[in-house]
Amino acid sequence: MKTALVIRHLAFEDLGLFERTIEAAGYQIRYLEAGMDDLSWIEPLDPSLLIILGGPIGANDEADFPFIEDELEILQARLNSDAPTLGICLGAQLMARALGAKVYPGRQKEIGWAPLQLTAAGQQSPLRHLSAEHVHVLHWHGDTFDIPNGASHLAATAAIPNQAFAWKKRCLALQFHPEVTAHGLERWFIGHIGEIQQTDTISIEQLRVDTKKFAYQMDMHANRFMEDWLASIQ
């Protein structure tokens, strides 16, 4: 059976709706918890698929969180070999850094639902299912990244220009969160209450209103995106 190794930084920031899609494609999913499980033992090219999820720490915070160095080493090996790899939010930032690009604070925090503006390359990729004509997607980040040299820029938003890139044929970095579900986001509202209260432009009330408006439609299109992307990495 194919294996999908998933590195998770917070228990409630999991694969969400992607879990059933990945299992349906024939993968056996195994989670490792950053900071709890030893990542240094991982043979970078062993998993059929590697997914690194999001979290509130920064991609440059290895002084406080040494496991970031392990993640970067794993990513460098996989990216060099074009081994199937997906990074979401922090995972995307780590992919950018592993490829030599800068990761830094954005000009503003981007938290909430907003449409993607796809590049021409994005329109030709599985991200076409998540284009602005179909859905709004969830954004939840303060940092951003430069597009690495040699990568294909796939998506932007009005607030943050670098939202996704592809590396070679089988590696994809997404700054946004297409994996979330409306039910699962209730855990985010609890876990990220400090950040929500410290950000003037958002509130739990508004996040709930927008989630009710956009989440169901995104579920359908995000599953189509994931199915297409998994087919493309075979």
Q: Helix, strand, or coil here: 211?
A: helix
Return d(Cα 17, Cα 62) in angstroms, integer: 30
Range of the domain at 84: 2-232
Is pLDDT of 133 > 90? yes
Each residue's pLDDT tens digit, 22-60: 999 999 999 999 999 999 999 999 999 999 999 999 999
Q: Using one digit for the tens of pLDDT, what is the confidence trace for 42-51? A: 999 999 999 9
Is 156 in contact with 116 (CB distance < 8 Å)? yes
pLDDT in tens, 68-119: 999 999 999 999 999 999 999 999 999 999 999 999 999 999 999 999 999 9
How much is the pLDDT for 178?
98
Instruction: Output the pLDDT for position 1.
Output: 85
Q: Tokens representing 7?
A: 């590195």
- Give the Cα separation of 83 and 231 in Å (integer): 14
- Between CA 126 and CA 48 the distance in angstroms is 19
Query: What CATH number does the domain containing 198 carry?
Result: 3.40.50.880
Give pTM, 2 decimals: 0.97
CA distance 19 to 35: 22
Burial class (CB within 10 angstroms; exposed 0-12, middle 13-18, buried 19+) of 229: buried
Give the residues across from 104 on adjacent strands. 144
Number of domains into which the chain is organized? 1
* Exposed / middle / buried, residue 158 (Cβ in 10 Å: 0-12, 13-18, 19+): exposed
3-state helix, strand, coil in the chain (%, to 5): 35, 25, 40
What integer pLDDT is reported at residue 86 of this predicted model?
99
pLDDT of residue 67: 98
pLDDT tens for each residue of 155-198: 999 999 999 999 999 999 999 999 999 999 999 999 999 999 99
